[in-house]
Structure 1
Amino acid sequence: MTDSTTVPPDVVPLPEAAISMLRASASQACAVLKAMAHEDRLLLLCQLTQGERNVGELEALVGLHQPSLSQQLGVLRDEGLVATRREGKYIYYRLASFEVIQIMQTLSDLYCGKVLKTVR
Structure 2
Amino acid sequence: MKNDSNYPDINGLLGDLGNLVSDNSTPAVPVDTPVDTPGQVQSDMGDDDWELFRKNLSLYNFREKKDDRMICKLDRDLADSLDDCDFDRKCRSDIVNAIVRTFVNRYLPRLRQYKRNNRSLLDSTPT
TM-score after normalising by structure 2: 0.27
Larger Rg: 1
Q: Which has the higher strand share?
A: 1
TM-score after normalising by structure 1: 0.28
Q: Which has the higher helix share?
A: 1
